[in-house]
Amino acid sequence: MGQVYFEDVNTGDEIPQLRKNCSTQQLVLWAAGSGDFYQIHYDKDFAQSTGLKGLIVHGALKNAFLGQLLHDWAGEAGSLRKFGCAYRGMDEPDQDIICRGVITKKYSEGGEHFIELDVWTEKPDGTKTSPGTALVTLPGRG
Amino acid sequence: MAEVFEITDEVKAQFGVETAPWVYEVTTTSVRMYARGIGSTDPIHYDVDFAKSQGFRSIVAPLGYVGTPAFSPETNDATFGFPRRQGGARLNLPMKGLLDGGTETEYFDYICAGDTLVETSHLADVKVKGNMVFVTNESVFKNQATGQVVAKQRLTSIHLG
């Protein structure tokens, strides 16, 4: 993906989607990477003993997926200033998690070019599971 | 019905009380492992020479990495990995289950392997809804070498009673 510039984007534009599908192996890799070894993410019996239907994807992993979505889109000359999401719904392993973002505002201030976005993860049926917002800077062509 | 957690004056008095500073080493190995966990293939998270060619000090930590602990059995929780910080709030929260509630991070600089971060945090909010207790902590991360604030983060956890 080439560098995206401030002048090339408009309010309402959707940024390129990032599609994830977590195997249980990836959940274990994430546990090792993040240090979070809570058993609801890799031990089905344990997960069910807490009242869950089965294993669930770490909320912070979905946050990191949205970070990757924004990082990949903004490119090396862009930067992410603020970003967050709430974990409103659970995602399961071996099910697509579609990471999406839509531009809600663009403006320039103090010589920098800012983009505000709504970002979220969604299930294949369109249910949003991790809605959030982001503030990104992009380079200008000038 | 009794609440699963009561926000007493004693609880309210703990809002804003800072923990002792906590030190995080950002290593090449931990940055690579985190990037691998996400499934990222961007060499900026793996290849030191490439990262330097792009103007960075070393490989760049993926967004979301900040707060990933350096583990010690003496000081960190065996399951969740987070540090048992000295000072700060002490709440007797229900623990029938624990879920992530949300993460919000403000970035002021890139975080790269070789950095050492110093974090302080405090209890920012507690809300009770039914059998769920929403606990939000705010953390500030500074680069130890420069003293610069590199990130501020709000983490919400949901304790089930």
Q: What are the backbone dihedrals phi and psi of residue B84, each rounded to the nearest 5 degrees, phi first?
A: -85, 95
Mean pLDDT split into 10-residue runs, chain B, 161 residues: 84 92 95 97 97 96 92 90 84 85 95 97 94 95 97 94 87
CATH assignment at residue B63: 3.10.129.10
Q: Is A32 on the interface with B (CB under 8 A)?
A: yes
Q: What pLDDT, on a 0 to 100 scale, did the predictor assign at position B98?
A: 83
pLDDT in tens, A62-120: 999 999 999 999 998 999 999 999 999 999 999 999 999 999 999 999 999 999 999 99
B-chain CB neighbours of A34 within 8 Å are 34, 37, 68, 81
Among A82, A42, A81, A80, CA closest to A61: A42
Residue from A19, A26, A34 whose CB has the most chain B CBs within 10 Å, to mutate: A34
Q: Which domain holds residue A88?
A: 6-138
CATH assignment at residue A33: 3.10.129.10
Contacts of A49 (CB under 8 A, 6+ apart): none
pLDDT in tens, A9-63: 999 999 999 999 999 999 999 999 999 999 999 999 999 998 899 999 999 999 9
Domain for residue B4, yes or no? no
How many domains does one find in chain B? 1
Taking CA–CA distances from B35, the nearest residue in chain A reads A33
Q: Which domain holds residue B71?
A: 9-160
Q: What pLDDT, on a 0 to 100 scale, did the predictor assign at position A108?
A: 98
Of A37, A51, A60, the CB nearest to B64: A60
B-chain CB neighbours of A58 within 8 Å are 100
What is the sign, positive or negative, of the torsion defined by CA atoms of A116, A104, A98, A123?
Answer: positive
Of A26, A35, A76, the CB nearest to B71: A35
Strand partners, B122: B138
Q: What pLDDT, on a 0 to 100 scale, did the predictor assign at position B1?
A: 55
* CA separation for the pair A14, A104 (Å, rounded): 10
pLDDT in tens, B94-108: 888 888 899 999 999
* CA separation for the pair B135, B130 (Å, rounded): 14
Q: Report the predicted TM-score, pTM, of the whole model to 2 decimal places.
A: 0.92
Strand partners, A13: none
Asked whether B85 and B23 are in contact (CB, 8 A), the reply is: no
Domain for residue A1, yes or no? no
How many domains does one find in chain A? 1
Is B34 in a helix, a strand, or coil? helix
A13/chain B closest Cα distance in angstroms: 22
Q: Is A7 on the interface with B (CB under 8 A)?
A: no
Q: If you search the block for the tokens 């510039």, which residue do you land on?
A: A5
* CA separation for the pair B18, B141 (Å, rounded): 13
Q: What pLDDT, on a 0 to 100 scale, did the predictor assign at position A34?
A: 95
* CA separation for the pair A47, B47 (Å, rounded): 37
Contacts of B86 (CB under 8 A, 6+ apart): B19, B20
Q: What pLDDT, on a 0 to 100 scale, did the predictor assign at position B95?
A: 80
Does an H or E element contain B97, and which? strand B97-107
